[in-house]
Structure 1
Amino acid sequence: MPWWDLGSLSRLKNFSGLFQNKMQEVQLGSHTVRSHGMTVARTHMHDWVILMLLGLIVVILNVIHPFYRFVGKDMMTDLKYPLKSNTVPVWAIPMYAVALPIAIFFIVYFRRRDVYDLHHAILGLLFSVLITGVITDAIKDAVGRPRPDFFWRCFPDGKDVYDQLGNVVCHGKKSVIKEGHKSFPSGHTSWSFAGLGFLSLYLSGKIKVFDRKGHVAKLCIVFLPLLFASLVGVSRVDDYWHHWQDVFAGGLLGWGPYAYFQVLEESRSVTQAATIVNGSNVQVTEARVENQEDETSIHGCMGLSLAHNSGSALEELESGRR
């Protein structure tokens, strides 16, 4: 064996040894918060800065006044529903849409000891919820659609007053009136689908729902977060805080991006598979062409030899006849 082959073989053995050591470290759970937590956080420092900016934008969008849309007397027919309290209070949204998924992420971490999975899951969840919150609150402030209970927010005593243009002149509490112009889209629904939808996809990956082994119980576990998010949306209509269009739009905002990226990933996978298949077909075609050329050359040589042999045989026959 040449000396350069011995060197390549030794380097290959060293590389395989390092790879096995790394795999053993992963299997032993060496990627913990204590050992690799600061490294992971430092690597994704810019992502956390963007998250803080998104949180600040959400606070600003909730503080500013929404657009006060014209509301005439003839529009009050669909806005006279009773003013009720929330079945799902506002403080409960971060509990089930953020805190609950993070608690599940930590349970998975304590079983697998993988800080990368924990960090990326929390980072992805927060990005999902905060981006959805920014989009939802921005649309709320820009549209300013009155809620179904807007009449009782504007006129708590039941006596409606309008100006010369026919627009309402509200004499209710300012904060209640301000909240009455934030009907479209539903923030409860969008936040619920953003947080619980992310949890549903996370669980589907961890318990391997689509492994084609026929475990229907896994699907039930994955659908539970989505069912809860749907019931939250239904409660918003039952409480007369939102129209059904608001809830539908909120569900699309919370869940729509997942479907889009899933389709994008599937199309990308199909494209990569087609590229691989086309590349293999090209290689097979080239191999066939080479084989055909080899066969042609072989057959050509065989044809020449056969022709030479047949020619000599004919000459012998003719000479015998003569």
Structure 2
Amino acid sequence: MAPSRANSAGVTAGGVLGSLSRFWRRTYASDYIGFVLLLTGYLLVQFLVEPFHRMFSLNDLRISFPYAETERVPLGLDFIYALFIPLGILILYNLAKSASVHKQHVTILGFAISMILTSFLTDVIKNMVGRPRPDLIARCLPAAGTPRDVLVDIDVCTQPDHHTLHDGWRAFPSGHASFSFAGLGYLSLFLAGQARIFAHGTTGSLAEHTEKLVRGDLVRALLCFAPLLCATMIAISRCQDYRHDVYDVCVGALLGWTVTYWSYRRYWPRLSSGRCDEPYAGPPGGGGDEAGAVRYGRIRDEEEGGGAGAGAGRNVT
């Protein structure tokens, strides 16, 4: 009886673990847990971590620019331009197209992960690098008599506002640039996929497809490019306000674009795919059941319409 109970317990434990494993692979639970962890990490970094304070010299002209009291794109507007407007467009587009619940779900989930991962990475790098902003000396308000020809540290500063002072060492990379390219960049990728401006596959007759290419491709491509132009203008405004230099902005933009492309491709086929306007069938890395009746995850390249197998299939028909 003892061995029988042990076997029964083992089977039960195996059944529970197996069920949990299947649930983990066949749902987006891991994505939501990851999102919560990233959000928690971002909030902890944002409110509890102070940046590394690099030493500086009062003679350094690169950090001697004036402090802009009024920014061209303050943080609140950056959230509107890069977060709320793109999110609203994504939701409204899917509603107008009567998209499935699954498509609406992964559209928002991919966008949300792109934004929070970009924000988390940007803030971690900012605080670790501790690069002075171009307006650092104006923020610092160095004490009278501070020597100008030697390296000094934050102790010479008399700025009473804690945030204004410590934020002076968060220049690299630009948060506005990374955030705007994450949000508006995701919108650009989504629109490019829905408009099929890079797709190789066809959805109708060859004549119909060719007609669409001739009549609408440039206009659609420009519309898909517009969010990237807006993101670029937001990034440039940070140089105009002397919050960042070109190096900070370019690296921030590259960071935001890289993260958003990675996040987009976890849920959507490549833009050259014949099925680029439809998301993958299930969670990234998901498997099927034992009988293979349910299949999740990414479809094969030849099924995307871009592989040799798909081309051969079209030639036969």
CA 1:142–1:162: 2 relative to 1, 3 Å: farther
1:125 corresponds in structure 2 to: 111
In structure 1, distance between residues paired with 2:27 and 2:175 = 32
The letter for the 2-side match of 1:189 is A
**Runs ≥4 in structure 1, deviation > 3 angstroms?**
162-166, 257-262, 272-277
After superposition, the Cα gap between the structure-2 partners of 1:275 and 1:224, relative to the gap in structure 1 and judged at 3 Å, is closer
> Which range is displaced more, 59-68 or 239-248?
59-68
Distance 1:154 1:48 in 2: 41
Aligned pairs for 1:143-154 (under 5 A) are: 143-154=129-140
Instruction: Report the Cα distance in structure 2 between the residues aligned to 1:99 and 1:252, rounded to whole angstroms.
Output: 21
Counterpart amino acid of 2:159?
G
| Whole-angstrom distance in 2 between the partners of 1:86 and 1:159 | 28
CA 219–162 in structure 1, closer or farther in 2 if over 3 Å, else same: same
- Residue 59 (str. 1) matches residue 43 (str. 2): yes
The 5 A counterparts of 1:76-115 are 76-84=60-68, 85-111=70-96, 112-115=98-101
Which letter does structure 2 place at the counterpart of 1:61?
V
Query: Matched residues in 1 for 2:80 and 2:185: separation?
Result: 15
Structure of greater relative contact order (alpha carbons < 8 Å, 6+ residues apart): 2
Amino acid at match of 1:106: I
Q: TM-score, normalised by structure 1?
A: 0.65
- Mapped to 1, the partners of 2:67 and 2:144 lie a distance apart of 15
1:274-298 per-residue CA deviation (whole Å, 9 max, x = no partner) reads 8859x99xxxxxxxxxxxxxxxxxx
Which residue, 60, 63, 73 being the options, matches 2:58?
73
Task: Give me the CA root mean square deviation.
Answer: 3.2
Report which of the two has the higher share of helix. 1
Q: Residues 160 and 114 of structure 1: is their aligned pair in 2 closer, same or farther, counting only changes over 3 Å?
A: farther
| Amino acid aligned to 1:192 | S
Structure having the higher Rg:
1
For the structure 1 residues 164 and 226, does the alpha-carbon distance in structure 2 shift closer, same or farther, using more than 3 Å as the test? closer
For structure 1, list consecutive stretches of 5 or more residues without a partner in the other structure.
1-38, 281-322
Identity %, equivalent residues: 32
Question: Structure 2: which 5+ runs fail to align?
Answer: 1-22, 200-209, 273-299
Shift of 1:255: 1.1
Which residue identity does 1:69 align to in structure 2?
R
1: CA distance between counterparts of 2:76 and 2:101?
29
Any residues of structure 2 matched to 1:181-192 within 5 Å, and which? 181-192=169-180
Residue among 232, 235, 249 paired with 1:233: 235
Are residue 255 (structure 1) and residue 257 (structure 2) matched? yes
- State whether residues 98 and 125 of structure 1, in contact with CA within 8 Å, keep that contact through their aligned partners in structure 2: no
CA distance in 1, matches of 2:120, 2:52: 16
* Alignment check: 8 A CA contact 2:171 2:244 kept: yes
Q: How does 1:258-277 map to 2 (within 5 A)?
A: 269=301
